[in-house]
Chain A
Amino acid sequence: SNPFEVKVNRQKFNILGRKTKNDVGLPGVSRSKAIKKRTQTLLKEYKEREKAHVFKDKRFGEYNTKISPEEKMLRRFALERQKNYGKKSIYNLNEDEELTHYGQSLAEIEKLNDIVDSDSDTEERGTLSAELTAAHFGGGGGLLRKKASSTQQDEEEEKPKSRKELIEEMIAKSKQEKQERQTRRESAIELTEKLDNDWKEIQTLMVRKTPKSERKGKEVEKPKPDEYDMIVRELGFEMKAKPSERMKTEEELAKEEQACLQKLEADRLRRMRGVDEEANKKKPSHVSADDLADGFILDNDDRRLLSYKDGKINIENVEEEKDEEEEGGEEDDDNEEESEEESDNEDEEDSAADGHSDLESDLENEEEGAGNKEQEKQKTNESESQNVEELDPKVEAAKSELPYTFAAPESYETFKSLLAGRTIEQQLIILERIQKCNHPSLAVGNKAKLEKLFGFLMEYIGKLATLDLPELRTIDKLVLPLYNLCQMFPEAASDSIKFILRDAAHDMEEVLEVKGRATFPGLDTLIYLKIISLLFPTSDFWHPVVTPAFMYMSQLLSKCRVTTLQDVIKGLFICCLFLEYVSLSRRLVPELINFLLGVLHISLPKKRAQGYTVVHPFTPVGKNLELLLVCDKKDLESWQKQNLPLSIVSRLNETSRTEINHIRLSCLALCFDLIKKCAALYEYLPSFHEIMHPIRILLTQNVPVSNYPEKMQELYHSALKELEEKEKHYTPLICEKKKPVPLKQYTPKIVKVLEFGRKQGSSKKEQERRQLIQRHKRELKGAIREIRKDNKFLARIQLSEIMERDSARKRKVKELLGSLATQEGEWKAMKRKKGKN
């Protein structure tokens, strides 16, 4: 364009890699563009500012961009036809007419032709065939070469073929082809026409054959073929049976399950080691390597831990000896059955669920696939049929009395009233139905409801445990729905349990601050702690629920006073809990050892404490000494080893001295057994003997073994044996090698530059904020500029209007004055004339 209209923004410095948008501008062009735009919009508005009429465009879909133009046209046409439909104009002669040719509608013929045309020759429609392009553009050489490759013999015979000849030949060929195609098409059309004609004739015949009188009858019959058609169509449209995965054999199922279990176990081990948090570097390698191997084959004497260990072992074998797969499979099956037989209780529950689901099959359908319970069912269904039958009448009876749907309770009171006065079976069924009716997949709010249900259930269990006669059997059953709920909503479950724990710990802390000593909590808290071990893996290095539980139990063992026999039982219960918690991870719990030591200590007569020290909460001197001491010879002799009933914890109604003494002895027996278990658990620790030293001293030097009944002596000796048999073995410690620290390097540090001239190094959020502010500023400036320009434009127009008006007025005034002047002049001239005259 005109170089005088170009404005160049000169840059001071050339910067490599920078793209500039605005180095050349055309001010004249852009200004004229802006003015034009304003005249089209602003000026129009300005001119119409005092007008009330509006121009309305009623064309259908004129401004609707969603409709494509063709459709728009179609709709418009349809609208037009609709509008004109009703009126039968007498002047409009060709309404509803159809043009025909040879008795067929022209439109149809056209359509047909089109269809035929569509598969006609390609050259005509402009697409080029490879041959043609080669001939036209490829040059002679290319063509020749091609020929050479395709028809060798020809080439040998008539080599000297000129380019012209070749092309002529090709043209002739293509023409011939074209003609052939045309004839084919014509014949096809003819044939179809003939067919059509034939059909018409036949049709007319058929129509004539059915007189009107019979037609009515036919109409009645009509539904029949319709039905048939429908069936045919249905069959046609029916989903084809897809090839499903083949049924898995039992071996495969078992194998899969084992693989799954193995994976879970591997996960657990990883968490136990805390690998996620601190890669293996933080543990001394020489310990952890042995350690883990040991941890895995822990208590390999029992046959019941099949899913864990045998799985592992089996799989290893399978890899080694593939040809013996059969055997392995059989073994697997055995394992399977065994574990099934063990799981009686659970199966009962499941069977109950099954029977129930028959009644509510639709619910069940939706639920299938959700929850691993189903899987469990599958596994257990076959072999447990007899069990189911045994149980059925009871469950059936329970079922029949209950309604099938339950709303999820909104508060603990409603929940309690739901369960109040029901038998255990009924309660379980109620819980199950609540779960089914409010499955999260059925409605939006159900998840929250069921999450609440977990809390209610926990509370209910707590209430049951704090009763005068704790209903532990009920709790035993209620744990199952609790487990299922927990599997469904781990977060909510962990939160509610953490809440309970926090409350309990808080209460204890308050008591500690006020009184300076704490007491053991009620049975409910103990049950909660036990439930935690059922719901969550206790071997994790860190776990959101289990770790606080550990802390809480540790506080219980080290802070709470032991003043009564119940306290001892509670303490021993917690010791058992501790042992169970660490049974897989084999972690050291000093509190546990201390407490066992203390329990042994209080079973001794006074003044015999030598060579060891007891720590808080036990004291070498004080009133809780001899709490477990039994002197009565008769009681000692009549004692039988018995399991401690948990209800003792909340009430000690055995007032007779003998029974109390028996309980004392049972506690002592339990203590011995726990010591034995501890010894087995901790033997791998390098300072095992130091840890067990006080207990060993106490056992060997202070315990009056000879006074004990025989059974107790047995226990004592087995515990002592466990302690002393372990050989002492120390290897000197060696620090892990430090990684060499890399030298400092002088290569430049490379920082990613995202945008020039921006501040770097702030957070992404901050950067985004700044960007937004900047953009806002820019937009604001632009808007202000535009408004200013608009105002200028308006002012200019107004000014020009005023000027126009003024000039018009001036002109008119001038005209008037001029005319007046001429009038005056004429008049004077007349006067002069008269004067002369």
Chain B
Amino acid sequence: QLPTGLYKKVLVILHDSILPYMNEPTLMIDFLTVAYGIGGAISLLALNGLFILIHQHNLEYPDFYKKLYSLLDPSVYHVKYRARFFHLLDLFLSSSHLPAYLVAAFIKRLSRLALSAPPEALLMAIPFICNLFRRHPACRVLVHRPHGPQDISEDPYVMEEEEPSKSKALESCLWEIQSLQNHYHPDVVKAAAVLSQFLSEMEDDISGLLELSAYELFDKEVKKKATDVPLEFEQIRGLFGKKNDIFAEHFTLD
């Protein structure tokens, strides 16, 4: 019923400026559930208030995880509220009593979406996934399946399935992370390479990674001191003069 901008503003401050001062926070249940059902960024924001209600006021939310699962779409790595969302997601998935299929579905979906994520999000998402593996050793089959069927022609995981239990995530493998081991950013490659080894017991602390921005990453790279600078050895012949230069095919210098 509210315009989108206002909706967002309200939801951003709801959890720490409104709810603690209400006598009856449960009154907000309807508002929040509606907001949660809208989808997109508003759902992500409503999650925070909803969490407080569930956590402190005994709210029973049916199919909470299913809804959470459906919130994961490609934009989740790109939106401004990424840090907040992943902080909450971390909280929700920290319980060790969650069924393995559910966690596996989350892992699979997160890594599938990571294929289109920017590097700063990847640097956060990969340790996040690692942590999930540590909490739920039953999901280890996703990265280690020594006696599985060889040469599968199709990924068993069903991305379009709304219900995590039917997504067949446990039958799949994390080929996405394997692909990310060929990412262009060296840190992402290193982070992804961790998953192909047996994980250490200690969980990574991702609180510092949540707020990572692209500019920070860039700054870090620029400030690195290099001992020597490798050079291109191929002689050049002009701006577009490289061997089979893509530009020469599509652009002219006029």
Name A residues whose Cβ lies closer than 8 Å to a Cβ of B: 261, 264, 267-268, 271, 274, 277-278, 281-284, 287, 291, 299, 302, 304-305, 307, 342-346, 376, 472-473, 475-477, 479-480, 483, 486-487, 490-491, 493-494, 498, 501-502, 505, 509, 512, 527, 530-531, 533-537, 540-545, 547-548, 550-552, 554-555, 558-559, 572-573, 576, 579-583, 585-591, 593-594, 613, 615-616, 643-647, 670, 673, 677, 685-691, 694, 727-736, 738
Contacts and interface: CB of A to CB of B under 8 A. Distances in A.
B247 A588 contact: no
B218 A555 contact: yes
Interface string B151-191: 11111000100000000000001111011111111100110
Interface in B58-77: 73-75, 77
A346 B235 contact: yes
Contact of A490 (B214, B228, B250): B228
21 contacts: A274-B189, A283-B193, A304-B244, A486-B231, A490-B229, A509-B215, A537-B232, A537-B233, A540-B230, A550-B184, A551-B218, A587-B182, A588-B184, A673-B249, A685-B179, A686-B179, A687-B176, A730-B151, A730-B173, A732-B148, A733-B142
Given A472-B254, A734-B146, A534 B221 contact: no
Contact of A554 (B214, B238, B239): B214
Nearest to A575: B246
Nearest to B233: A264
A733 B143 contact: yes
B95 interface: no
Interface stretch (B20-28, B48-56, B112-120): B112-120
B222 interface: yes
Given A479-B241, A537-B230, A694-B116, 13 more contacts: A283-B196, A345-B238, A476-B239, A534-B239, A537-B233, A550-B185, A551-B221, A554-B119, A573-B251, A590-B116, A643-B252, A687-B115, A736-B197
Nearest to A306: B243
Contacts of B151: 729-731
B119 to A, nearest CB: 6
B101 interface: no
Interface residues of B, number: 81
A307 B233 CA distance: 11
A425 to B, nearest CB: 14
A731 B150 contact: yes
Contact of B245 (A281, A580, A647): A580
B237 interface: yes
A732 B152 contact: yes
A734 B145 contact: yes
Contacts of A305: 243-244
B9 interface: no
Contact of A555 (B116, B143, B145, B214): B214
A310 to B, nearest CB: 12
A589 B74 contact: no
Contacts of B247: 530, 573, 576, 580
Contacts of B229: 490-491, 493-494, 536, 543-545
B246 A579 contact: yes
B6 interface: no
B251 A343 contact: no
B148 A588 contact: no
B178 A543 contact: no
Contacts of B253: 472-473, 475-476, 645-646
B246 A479 contact: no
A551 B214 contact: yes
Contacts of B228: 490-491
B218 A552 contact: yes
Interface string B32-64: 000000000000000000000000000000000
Nearest to B122: A590
Contact of B145 (A583, A689, A732): A732
Contacts of B222: 498, 501-502, 505, 548
A686 B175 contact: yes
B61 to A, nearest CB: 26
Contact of A494 (B142, B143, B155, B226): B226
Contacts of A582: 184
A541 B215 contact: no
Contact of B231 (A283, A346, A535, A593): A535
A355 to B, nearest CB: 20
Contacts of A586: 182
A643 B196 contact: no
Given A615-B75, A673-B250, A687-B175, A480 B146 contact: no
Contact of B239 (A530, A590, A733): A530
A264 B78 CA distance: 39
A455 B232 CA distance: 19
A586 to B, nearest CB: 7
Interface of B: 73-75, 77-79, 112, 115-119, 142-146, 148-155, 159, 173-176, 178-186, 189-190, 193-194, 196-198, 214-215, 217-219, 221-222, 224, 226, 228-247, 249-254
Q: Nearest 8 CB-CB pairs, A to B?
A: A544-B226, A732-B148, A282-B193, A686-B175, A490-B229, A732-B145, A472-B253, A645-B254
Contacts of A281: 197
A493 B233 CA distance: 15
Nearest to B143: A733
Nearest to B218: A551
Nearest to A487: B231
Contact of B246 (A487, A535, A580, A728): A580
Contact of A616 (B78, B175, B252): B78
A697 to B, nearest CB: 11
Which of A344, A533, A572, A585 gathers most chain B CB within 10 Å?
A533
Contact of B254 (A264, A342, A647): A647
A646 to B, nearest CB: 5
Nearest to B196: A284
A191 B253 CA distance: 94
Contacts of A552: 218
B231 A537 contact: yes
A530 B248 CA distance: 12
A291 B217 CA distance: 28
A281 B217 CA distance: 25
Contacts of B181: 283-284, 287
Contacts of B142: 733
A304 B184 contact: no
Given A573-B251, A643-B251, A544 B224 contact: yes
B94 to A, nearest CB: 24
B236 A479 contact: yes
A176 B236 CA distance: 86
Given A590-B118, A734-B144, A472 B239 contact: yes
A267 B106 CA distance: 41
A687 B178 contact: yes
B175 A733 contact: yes
A271 B232 CA distance: 12
A731 B155 CA distance: 10
A548 B116 contact: no
Contacts of A690: 112, 115, 155, 159, 175-176, 179
Contacts of A673: 249-250
Which of B174, B178, B196, B221 gathers most chain A CB within 10 Å?
B221
A287 B178 contact: yes
A542 B188 CA distance: 12
Contacts of B174: 733
Nearest to A260: B233
Contacts of B232: 483, 534-537
Contacts of A261: 233
Contacts of A677: 246
A99 to B, nearest CB: 76
A548 B218 contact: yes
B189 A670 contact: no
B251 A685 contact: no
A544 B230 CA distance: 9
A674 to B, nearest CB: 8
A647 B251 CA distance: 10
